[in-house]
Copies of this chain bind each other. A is one copy, B any other.
Amino acid sequence: MTLLSRRPGSFGGVVLSRFQRPGQVIVGGFAAVIAIGTALLALPIATTEGEPAGTLPALLTATSAVCVTGLITVDTDPHWSVFGEVVILLLIQVGGLGIMTLATLFALLVSGRLGLRARLLAQAETKTLHGADLRRVIRRIVVFSLVSETVLAVVLSLRFALGYAEPPGRAIWLGVFHSVSSFNNAGFTLWTDGMVRFVADPWVVLPVAFAVILGGLGFPVVFELLSNWRRPRTWSVLTRITVGVSAALLVGGTLLFTVVEWQNPRTLGPLPDHVKFMAGFFTAVMPRSGGLNVIDISAMRHESWLATDILMFIGGGSAGTAGGIKVTTFGLLAFVMWAELRGEDRVNVGHRRVAGPVQRQALTIALLGVGIVAAGTFTLLAMVPHSLDRVLFEVVSAFATVGLSTGITPQLPPPGQLLIIVLMFIGRVGPLTVFSALALRERTRRYELPEERPIVG
């Protein structure tokens, strides 16, 4: 008997019958894991001091970890004990893989089979094709994540041990923590200044950036690239747009940050030229939505903040660990706009036509994102004395589950912290899923069971 069994009368059947919609199950699952994480982090043993952390810091940290965001009000390393940090790491792993993916895996491990309902739920979260072999997909997701994290952990641990003379146990812990944090785009570090100390170290900067990109491409794209990277002509629309838009944003972002910050004495200014490019690249990777930093974000120029806002809002690939409206949504809308400007009736990507409903779905995701960010920014502006620059940055960072910060989150009053928590939750679960869970939808929509359409959002 499993959580996801559909046998009537079973525990799973009872649980599922209370939730009529996949959205409610996903929202409920994330909320349950956050509640468990909050309870664990509120224990006295979770802090270094041995005093209970308090509900709000525990809730914010647990939400930030499960939603793989990284915005925090207390510094991870001095504040939380090893127990607390292990809890955070597990929450990141659960949140990164996704609640339904884990539940499905659990069901598979226990019973070896899945009911139709569980299949639909897992498909809604992993956004796999209808009819695909779900069991194989889930297994590949988990194996791929663990293998990638292990490789990165080994590289980082060796570097911390050999390059920074960390004792072996500490080096391994640092390697594992930052590997899981990077691959899952979680944005948590064990250093209070982020990764600024490693700005000139390619053995840390490049593997971490690579892990963030890999984890943020989204599993469907990664698997297609793994099996088909030599034949770009055969790629799906999803993979074409994800790879193309990602490459354009990474190249453009690297140039932009490098040029804008080149002479800024508080960021790239004092660095050697080749390090400037590497740091510019890292800074361009992190908005999608790694959330780590090798330069002081609060010291960046205002136009760099705006560029970061835009990159964060766009985010990374669909059905992975990245947040934002997703590069596919952004790319599709760009194609739609271009077709309209050119006076063409159809929207073609490569040699395939993009269906009308997908265009409308992309539009809805982008508009919902704009609306949520605008409402969140307005509300937070009314609560704090900070200017739009910083408030918008923090709101977009929360909504897009990025975790970069100009430093205002720890200073926010409790209602402002609650707003950040809500934004992180909506951002990770997805506005459409939240909306569907609110039961405002009349019918089940096809994009909960995608067919031949590229994934957006």
Interface residues of A (CB under 8 A from B): 260, 301-303, 305-307, 310, 333-334, 336-337, 339-345, 356-357, 359-361, 363-364, 367-368, 374, 377-378, 381-382, 387-389, 391-392, 432, 435, 440-445
> In the complex, what residues of B have CB within 8 A of residue A444's CB?
343
Q: Is the interface of A mostly helix, strand, loop or mixed?
A: helix
The 7 closest A-B pairs by CB, nearest first: A303-B381, A340-B364, A388-B389, A343-B443, A343-B445, A303-B382, A343-B441
Q: Can you report 11 A-B residue pairs in the complex whose CB atoms are below 8 A from each other?
A: A301-B382, A302-B381, A333-B363, A333-B367, A336-B360, A339-B360, A340-B361, A341-B440, A359-B360, A387-B389, A388-B392
Given the known interface contacts A387-B388, A442-B342, A442-B343, the answer about A336 and B363 at a Cβ–Cβ threshold of 8 Å is yes
A381 x B442 contact (CB < 8 A): no
> In the complex, what residues of B have CB within 8 A of residue A360's CB?
336, 339-340, 359
Given the known interface contacts A336-B360, A363-B336, the answer about A342 and B440 at a Cβ–Cβ threshold of 8 Å is yes
> In the complex, what residues of B have CB within 8 A of residue A310's CB?
374
State in angstroms the CA–CA spacing of A378 and B444 once bound together: 41
> In the complex, what residues of B have CB within 8 A of residue A342's CB?
440-442
State in angstroms the CA–CA spacing of A432 and B342 once bound together: 11
Given the known interface contacts A306-B388, A368-B337, the answer about A442 and B363 at a Cβ–Cβ threshold of 8 Å is no
Q: Determine how many copies of this chain the complex contains.
A: 2
Given the known interface contacts A343-B441, A442-B343, the answer about A363 and B381 at a Cβ–Cβ threshold of 8 Å is no
Given contacts A340-B364, A345-B357, 9 further A-B contacts (CB under 8 A): A301-B382, A336-B364, A337-B367, A340-B360, A341-B435, A343-B444, A344-B442, A388-B392, A389-B389
State in angstroms the CA–CA spacing of A343 and B303 once bound together: 39
Given the known interface contacts A381-B303, A382-B260, A387-B387, the answer about A337 and B359 at a Cβ–Cβ threshold of 8 Å is no
CB distance from A452 to the nearest CB of B (A): 17
A377 x B306 contact (CB < 8 A): yes
Given the known interface contacts A360-B336, A435-B341, the answer about A387 and B442 at a Cβ–Cβ threshold of 8 Å is no
State in angstroms the CA–CA spacing of A310 and B375 once bound together: 11
A378 x B440 contact (CB < 8 A): no
> In the complex, what residues of B have CB within 8 A of residue A340's CB?
360-361, 363-364
> In the complex, what residues of B have CB within 8 A of residue A302's CB?
381, 387-388, 391
State in angstroms the CA–CA spacing of A391 and B305 once bound together: 13
Residue of A340, A343, A374, A440 with most partner-chain B CB within 10 A = A340
State in angstroms the CA–CA spacing of A303 and B392 once bound together: 11
A364 x B389 contact (CB < 8 A): no
Closest to A389 in B: B388
> In the complex, what residues of B have CB within 8 A of residue A381's CB?
301-303, 306
State in angstroms the CA–CA spacing of A364 and B335 once bound together: 10
CB distance from A301 to the nearest CB of B (A): 8
A441 x B341 contact (CB < 8 A): yes
A378 x B306 contact (CB < 8 A): yes
> In the complex, what residues of B have CB within 8 A of residue A345's CB?
357
CB distance from A182 to the nearest CB of B (A): 29
Closest to A333 in B: B367
CB distance from A313 to the nearest CB of B (A): 10
Closest to A393 in B: B388
Which of B305, B336, B343, B382 is close to A388, meaning CB atoms less than 8 Å apart?
B305
State in angstroms the CA–CA spacing of A440 and B340 once bound together: 11
CB distance from A371 to the nearest CB of B (A): 8
CB distance from A412 to the nearest CB of B (A): 15
CB distance from A391 to the nearest CB of B (A): 8
B363 x A337 contact (CB < 8 A): yes
State in angstroms the CA–CA spacing of A301 and B382 once bound together: 8
B363 x A363 contact (CB < 8 A): yes
Residue of A303, A334, A359 with most partner-chain B CB within 10 A = A303
> In the complex, what residues of B have CB within 8 A of residue A307's CB?
378
State in angstroms the CA–CA spacing of A126 and B10 once bound together: 67
